[in-house]
A and B are shown apart, each in its own frame.
Chain A
Amino acid sequence: MSNTETKPSDSLITTDVETGSNDRTAPSDRTAVAARDLNVFYGDEQAIDDVSMEIPEKRVTALIGPSGCGKSTFLRCINRMNDMIEVCRVEGDIEFGGKNVYDDDVDPVALRRKIGMVFQKPNPFPKSIRDNVAYGLKIQGFDGDVDERVEESLKGAALWDEVKDQLGSSGLDLSGGQQQRLCIARAIAPDPEVILMDEPTSALDPVAASKIEDLIDDLAEEYTVIIVTHNMQQAARISDRTAVFLTGGRLVEYDDTTKIFEDPEEQRVEDYITGKFG
């Protein structure tokens, strides 16, 4: 069984790396987010172990690794969503916009307004499509033309053509893939600088997933995208840089996606990518 699974994925990855992610030249010159000596604990259990990495601006950075290795935890550190988990304790720095987001004078709520987030399970609010997209604008007291911004964001999330006649109907009436694009539209509507995505396509079928992949590619023109994924092909196709976490919350290798998938330094990384371990 493992044999049959490994073979095709191997070949897929090589072809995909050749076609994908060539449009942008990596690495970028500017850093959007940087982690320095980051350690995260849930109670006594360590979930992130001394991670330092620099994430380039306006690029897609993929975080991959086996389940439980701390990818989601790392993502949540960036917009301080870990603050909501009472047992969670963070040491070290996350630099964003020239500031450590864990400094005392940083208001996490204000921080989150600059960083959008898309979750694994689509979670549109039980409100109309329009109100979903306008949510961030509403809570941030946006005083421009809301409808125009809603339209822009839905277009940016490649959803506009499908929903333009039913903006007033509930966001929950959409299909799973549409809901996820609605959540992306909601995340980009307040024009954040960084978009975090935690396995955004894992609940979707391949067609819906590939739509979102195309979308991520476009988003990287304007935003810094950091995406967690379990799908190697997806990481290879859409990302410019890839970070491989392994069990224990250690960052094992972080490099250009092409390098990671064609010629990784570490044997463990190669094993993980080709499915021999994980």
Chain B
Amino acid sequence: MATDTDTGRVEEFGEVSRVRGIAFEYLSLGASVLGIFALAVLLIYVTIDAFDLANANPLWLLTYFLTLVVPFLGFCLYSARDRTLTRRAVTVAGGGLVAVAVAFTLVETFVGQVPRLNWQLTYLFVVIIPLTGYLVYMGARGRPGSVGFGMVGRLIGGTAIGLAFSVLFLVFDERLWFLAYTLGIVPALLAYAYGRLRDTPAAVTAALPISILGMVLAVFVREVLRTYPTTAFIYLWTLAIPIAAAGAVVVNGRGSRTAALTAGGVPLALATAVGLFGRAAGLGVGGPNALLVIAVTGVPVAAYLHRVFDVGEGVSGLGLPVLLVAGALAGAFLVELFGIPTPSPWVSETFLTEAPSRTATEAGLYPAIVGSVIIIAMVAVLSFALGVATSVFLEEYTADTGVVGALTRLLQINIANLAAVPSVVYGLLGLGLFANLLGFGFGTAVTVSLTLSLLILPITIISAQEAIRSVPDDLRRGSDAMGATRWQTTKNVVLPEAFPGILTGTILALGRAIGETAPLIMVGAATTVFSPPSSLFSKFSAMPMQIYAWANFPQAEFRYGVVAAGVITLLIILIGMNGTAILLRNRAERGN
């Protein structure tokens, strides 16, 4: 080595590092492709099982392909308004059809039967779904597409949020909420509004104490008062009216007063009518939950409609929901007309609304879905509040040097280590602390939520700290120099800037919390319950627990069909939740 000439050395080094670099590049590419491929195959099979696609008649697939998928892709292309894109999309769809059919036949003849797949399904998964994803992405950049997807998103998202609220009221006493709202929140808001309009700072400051006082009072009144309005009326008064008012305020800010009244009033009237009289009028829907869903969906949709018409661009995109519904109906009609056999998917209405059962066809996930939704809501609130508070304290309030600095660093290291502690250990902690010592009970929603919050707290804290640290110091100094107190700087400058980052961390952590089973088993959550929980302290189950239980059932239908349906449901709820949070975050990033 020492005898090497200079040039010789350089060449040798160059060779070696290039080989390594190339090897590394292909290794990492291979690793990621392998990972994605394995996951894709798994998801494809789970989807096939959950929707019973293996038994789907090719004609059935063709019918829906023509009535639903093709018009939708056409809509995306219409929105993107790009000739080359259209040409390419048609080429991919057509060429893909031939390529997949040929390749699949070759594999079947020379390699052997592929289980539960045929070339039509392969074409669907390998060509059409990725193509649809890409075209949705491209279409959303065009004005009609973004309007259409915005509309569909509000419809689906509003419905989901409305349903989630109604699920929460299964365990939270709506009468207590009614009293707390009426005695606490309404007076506080009135005081605040009065203070703002009349320039009376005292009234503004009084708002918070008033609300706390009112809520405490509500707890006492709940003990005494015996008669209450109906649930539908409570929802109307405490949720639908404020939501409609908020929508009206938003519309009023950018439009006329009439438009504002319409945007708030029409959905409210519709919700009230259907909610109070729907059942009586023989509509098939009605009751308090319908009221809630219609209000939560209708008001944002109305505000959105107003904005779209106001801007006047891409109005045609509003037809997208109609297109989709019409496509589905037309497909169903044709299938009926020609007597095409339809698959019976495991993810069905029964599955989503019924209790678990011994027979696979009657099995349902409803109690576990409710349990999961309740846990998610509580964990989100708890870990967000605790995580933000802790990270703000660590980042903004503690010194970097001296004794306090050393203590902070110690705490910091411990938090980082806590993130690596296995989840069973947290389960043990939950069992000892919340279930036994504090007496919240075995396997109750409170115990599970607290345990899972603790589990993800380190991740939330660390990511929130990271987000807070990335706020430029310039901004802090700017605010301090204006004579802002530490708290004012934190509240007005640091937190708004760090918010998107904090949200990202919380989303990731929440995703982990939903899928956990080990700590749930440890704190004694039931694998199977037959009715949704009626209070925070009743026995309940969560989706992963139920899926885990089913996976051990002897019948094959359970292990393939029902488990797959459970996994798909869990995934859809997870993706929906993450998607909503990501949308919120992006809006916060752009908006400010």
Contact = CB atoms under 8 A, between A and B. Distances in A.
B350 to A, nearest CB: 50
Interface stretch (A95-103, A113-121, A230-238): A113-121
Interface stretch (A33-41, A135-143, A251-259): A135-143
Interface in B449-482: 472, 474-475, 477-482
Interface string B190-220: 0000000001010000000000000000000
A266 B151 CA distance: 75
Given A112-B483, A139-B492, A84 B592 contact: no
A87 interface: yes
Contacts, number: 75
B413 to A, nearest CB: 21
A3 B129 CA distance: 71
B404 to A, nearest CB: 10
A73 to B, nearest CB: 14
Interface residues of B, number: 24
B483 A139 contact: yes
A170 B590 CA distance: 10
Contacts of B492: 125, 135, 138-139
Interface residues of A, number: 32
A135 B482 contact: yes
A114 B485 CA distance: 14
Contacts of A109: 483-485
Contacts of A123: 472, 474-475, 477-478
B interface: dominant SS:
helix
Contacts of A139: 479, 482-485, 488, 492
A79 interface: yes
A44 interface: no
B334 interface: no
B401 A117 contact: no
Contact of B479 (A87, A121, A125): A125
B479 A135 contact: yes
Contacts of A81: 477, 480-481
Contact of A126 (B401, B480, B485, B592): B592
A40 B401 CA distance: 19
B477 to A, nearest CB: 7
A136 B483 contact: yes
A86 B482 contact: no
Contact of A183 (B201, B478, B493): B478
Interface string B7-30: 000000000000000000000000
A127 B491 CA distance: 13
Contacts of B199: 143
Contacts of B481: 79, 81, 112, 116-117, 119, 187
Interface string B121-161: 00000000000000000000000000000000000000000
B281 to A, nearest CB: 46
Contacts of B479: 125, 135, 139
25 contacts: A79-B481, A81-B481, A86-B399, A109-B483, A109-B484, A109-B485, A111-B483, A112-B480, A116-B481, A116-B482, A119-B478, A119-B481, A123-B475, A123-B477, A123-B478, A125-B478, A125-B479, A136-B482, A138-B492, A139-B479, A139-B483, A141-B201, A143-B201, A187-B481, A190-B482
Interface of A: 79, 81, 84, 86-87, 109-114, 116-117, 119, 121, 123-127, 135-136, 138-141, 143, 170, 183, 186-187, 190
The 5 A-B pairs with the shortest beta carbon distances in the complex, nearest first, are A113-B483, A117-B481, A112-B483, A123-B474, A123-B478
Interface of B: 199, 201, 399-402, 472, 474-475, 477-485, 488, 492-493, 496-497, 592
